Chains A and B, each alone.
Chain A
């Protein structure tokens, strides 16, 4: 079945540590997105990519980095510069960034700073 796989489901980070969240899709979608979800709030866009080897900052990119070396993969690194990384992270994809179809989401990664 086609879909988006995020791993791990739960991730714990120590202060000052970088961690990478994995997002893989087999939907042949060109566009991929990373959103952050905090309790009681909607999703906020971190980074997005419309094509391989190209990505753009979203609304809250500070302290995060991404890469898009393959169409199927869009990993997110939470760096030590991100002062409040505890949140739920959602990866999404869409066909060519075409708004008509909305997003397909992964099941998310819960990141906790310990």
Chain B
């Protein structure tokens, strides 16, 4: 079974600065997908960024980028130029290539952006 670990229950960052959220996972699979989801105080989960394990290039979506280290089974999220609207809980998730789309989620990191 896959496990996903987010070792930072809470983090904070000053507005306009950069913050990195960590995620590690354990799997024996070679093909899989990794995701970061954002859950703001409204509780609506939103997909932030995705990474396909067979791609070496790190995914980027505007201010959000990942550092994917397949050998180390690490998948960190970097948020640049942090904004107050980035305040949310962030979940790392793992999905096997062929598993009916079922995901395994980490316990989340609560990020607070301070003005």
The digit string for B45-67, where 1 denotes a CB below 8 A from any CB of A, is 11100101000000000000000
Contact A98 B101 (CB under 8 A): yes
* Pick from A43, A56, A92, A99: contact of B91, CB under 8 Å: A43
Task: Count B interface residues, CB 8 Å.
Answer: 29
Interface bin, chain A: 20 to 34
Verify if B73 is at the interface (C-beta below 8 Å from A). no
Verify if A58 is at the interface (C-beta below 8 Å from B). yes
Q: 14 A-B residue contacts at CB 8 Å? A: A42-B4, A42-B107, A43-B93, A45-B102, A90-B45, A92-B45, A98-B101, A99-B101, A102-B37, A102-B95, A105-B37, A105-B46, A107-B42, A108-B43
12 other A-B residue contacts (CB within 8 Å) besides A92-B45, A105-B37:
A42-B107, A43-B91, A43-B103, A45-B102, A48-B101, A56-B100, A97-B100, A99-B99, A100-B50, A103-B45, A107-B43, A108-B43
